[in-house]
Amino acid sequence: MTTSKSWSLVVTGYSVLVLAMLAFLTVNGVSAAAAGTVATATLIVLGFLLAAAGTLELARHMDPPQGTLRKGLVLQGLALIGILIGLVLSFVASSMSGHLVSAVFIVPSGVTGLAGAIFIAEEARARQLVIGAALIAIGAALIPAANIAQFAYLILDTDKNLYQDIGATIAGCGCAVAAYSYFALRSRSKTPAVSLP
């Protein structure tokens, strides 16, 4: 796979995630939306896998002097996979323990993604990627947090849907910022000022 295709995978993956979060907002809390839920879940899985595959492939093509950038891309790719696992667990969980396990995947993965974004920003001057990674982590963490709060009788079911919608909105904004960041990095990679492939 060429690096051009890898860049495209990352940008496409994050763009699909923006659409997935918008779809989530429309079907969340609607009991008669089974087809919409399946379509949303498919978009979420596809988006996370495309973005993760692209970042890991980009990391594979980094030259040895670009070790910090490579490390950041690997951390971003692994974080995306961890957040995906956590979200899938959250969607299928039917108990408090299931949602706690989901949070155990999402929270460390979000921190890992943020660390990866910091490494990338440090090497390639892409500070907005740090904001995107933080928004994705916070938004994704709100989804199982709302489920946990509902199981603990801290909030009502309708409030749970509201907090999940807020989480999806925050994560969607983070995905849009990340898509833009990687698009900008791809454009700058063709200039000698940035040492990207």
Query: For each of the chain's 197 residues, which pLDDT tens digit applies?
Result: 557 889 999 999 999 999 999 999 888 877 655 777 888 889 999 999 999 999 999 998 877 667 888 999 999 999 999 999 999 998 888 888 999 999 999 999 999 999 999 999 988 888 999 999 999 999 999 999 999 998 888 888 778 889 999 999 999 999 999 999 999 888 876 543 344 54
Q: What is the pLDDT of residue 49?
A: 97
Is residue 58 included in any domain, yes or no? Answer: yes
Q: Which domain holds residue 115?
A: 3-188
Q: What is the pLDDT of residue 112?
A: 97
Amino acid at 197: P
Is residue 54 included in any domain, yes or no? Answer: yes
Number of residues assigned to the chain: 197
Is residue 193 included in any domain, yes or no? Answer: no
CB atoms within 10 A of CB 97: 11
Cβ-in-10-Å burial (0-12, 13-18, 19+) of 181 comes to buried
Is residue 184 included in any domain, yes or no? Answer: yes
Residue with tokens 């008669």: 32
| Contact (Cβ atoms closer than 8 angstroms) between residue 171 and residue 144 | no
Q: What is the pLDDT of residue 65?
A: 66
DSSP letter, residue 154: S
Q: What is the pLDDT of residue 197?
A: 44
Q: What is the pLDDT of residue 192?
A: 39
pTM: 0.89
Q: What is the pLDDT of residue 125?
A: 83
Is residue 197 included in any domain, yes or no? Answer: no
Q: What is the pLDDT of residue 21?
A: 94
Is residue 122 included in any domain, yes or no? Answer: yes
Amino acid at 168: A
Q: What is the pLDDT of residue 141?
A: 95
Is residue 127 included in any domain, yes or no? Answer: yes
Number of domains making up the chain: 1
Is residue 196 included in any domain, yes or no? Answer: no
